[in-house]
Amino acid sequence: MMSQASARVRWANASLTTHRYGDPMNFAGAQSATADAADSLLRANLAHGEAVLASIRPVLRRLVANADHAMFSEEAVARTRGLIESLAWRLVRQAGGGMADAAALAPAEALIGALAAQPDLLAHCHALVVEGQLGERLEREARIDPVLPPLLQAQITSAAADPAAIAMALFAAQARFVQGFRRMEITPGELPADLLHGVLAAFVQTCGSEAERVAGEIRAEFDEARSRLALLGRVALGLGDSFDLALEPDQAGIALFVTALALMAGQERDAVVLATTDGQQARLALLMAIAGLAPAAAEAVLLKLHPDATIPRHCLGVSREQAETLLMAGGGA
């Protein structure tokens, strides 16, 4: 980036050139316009710098306070940003039609900044990262398959055609999710509709007319019912008498487990994902109480997800009404 000193030299040279070779009577006007431009640039730079400085303390406070928490680990933060970056680059490249990365760098960076400024999108990507990390840990420590757990496998081999087809579609979507998590990639079509709308609006505003054409194509092809999150919900709701198995991570895997728990507890799925992290055992226990899990079943889930943590037994066995009241008092509902 050009320094302020270099910028002043260029402005001075431009003024001298006008004075030497242009109409001398226009020199004062040109000098005034140059000064106004410099003043505007300076104000913009100062405003940006002020915003950066203002963000330092709250950001540092959060990161330092949660440095030992998996939810805010360096890996989680880096992967969250990676998802935002992959989304921006995918859109910019699609609009650029084979544009070289060097030429696409400026619009991609601008779009990354615009997307990172959307709190709901950022929170959703963060929840996806937490889900992916937990899936990998359970696969490593408890041998729970993040792609094809026993419950999903049973649905695929079901004699009923429709449930089997939906389960097979979920199997493919879950495989793409796990692969995308490892590569730190996400596609627009996997976003909830409200988040996709905000992403495409920022895309068009940042990248112009060609982006508008691409955004139109994405909207035309978008079908939220085919997304992984929608398929998880359809599989869970189609389990019938086997629904209780969806509340057992060993049987359902983490993706179906948090989906089923969110449905039964009446909570947003992303919020339930965050409740599975270390330090949130009490919140998870209360969510399971709202969902109707017996104390022994809830304790088994907690031990599976957090084998070395203290079990909040005071939260086990409370009534649904008590659990809801406690969550409300803690700002969790």
Q: How far apart are CA 245 and CA 150, in angstroms?
A: 10
SS3 319: coil
Q: Which amino acid is at 105?
A: L
> Is the CB of residue 83 less than 8 Å from the CB of residue 184?
yes
> Is the CB of residue 174 less than 8 Å from the CB of residue 147?
yes
Give the model's pLDDT for residue 95: 87
> Is the CB of residue 111 less than 8 Å from the CB of residue 207?
yes
Per-residue burial over 18-54, b if 16 or more Cβ lie within 10 Å, else e, is beeeeeeeeeeebeeebeeeeeeeeeeeeeeeeeeee
pLDDT band at 289 (very low <50, low <70, confident <90, very high): very high
Residue 118 has a CB neighbour count (10 Å cut-off) of: 17
> Is the CB of residue 70 less than 8 Å from the CB of residue 305?
no
Q: How far apart are CA 286 and CA 329, in angstroms?
A: 12
Q: In this structure, what token pair is assigned to residue 242? A: 């086997």
DSSP string computed for 168-203: HHHHHHHHHHHHHHHHT---GGGS-HHHHHHHHHHH
DSSP string computed for 58-122: HHHHHHHHTTT-GGGSHHHHHHHHHHHHHHHHHHHHHHHTS--HHHHHHHHHHHHHHHHT-HHHH
What secondary structure letter does DSSP report for 146?
S
Q: In this structure, what token pair is assigned to residue 42? A: 């300076």
Give the model's pLDDT for residue 49: 56
Q: Which amino acid is at 43?
A: R
> Is the CB of residue 281 less than 8 Å from the CB of residue 302?
yes
Q: How far apart are CA 132 and CA 70, in angstroms?
A: 12
Q: What is the mean pLDDT of residues 135-164?
A: 93
Does 297 have pLDDT greater than 60? yes
Q: Which percentage of the chain shows pLDDT scores above 90?
A: 62
Q: Which amino acid is at 4?
A: Q
Q: What is the mean pLDDT of residues 236-252?
A: 95
pLDDT band at 208 (very low <50, low <70, confident <90, very high): confident
Q: In this structure, what token pair is assigned to residue 237? A: 């709701």
Q: What is the mean pLDDT of the chain?
A: 84
Q: With the CA atoms of 87, 152, 320 and 263 taken in that order, what torsion angle do they form, in degrees rounded to the nearest 10?
A: 40
What secondary structure letter does DSSP report for 143?
-
How do residues 53-107 score in pLDDT, each as one tens digit?
565 566 555 655 555 556 667 888 899 999 999 999 999 998 877 666 777 788 8
Q: How far apart are CA 154 and CA 130, in angstroms?
A: 26
Q: How far apart are CA 202 and CA 199, in angstroms?
A: 5
Residue the block writes with tokens 């991570």: 249
Give the model's pLDDT for residue 13: 44
Which has the minimum average pLDDT: 6-10, 228-232, 251-255?
6-10
Q: In this structure, what token pair is assigned to residue 102? A: 């060097």
Domain coordinates in residue numbering, the chain: 4-65, 73-277
SS3 160: coil
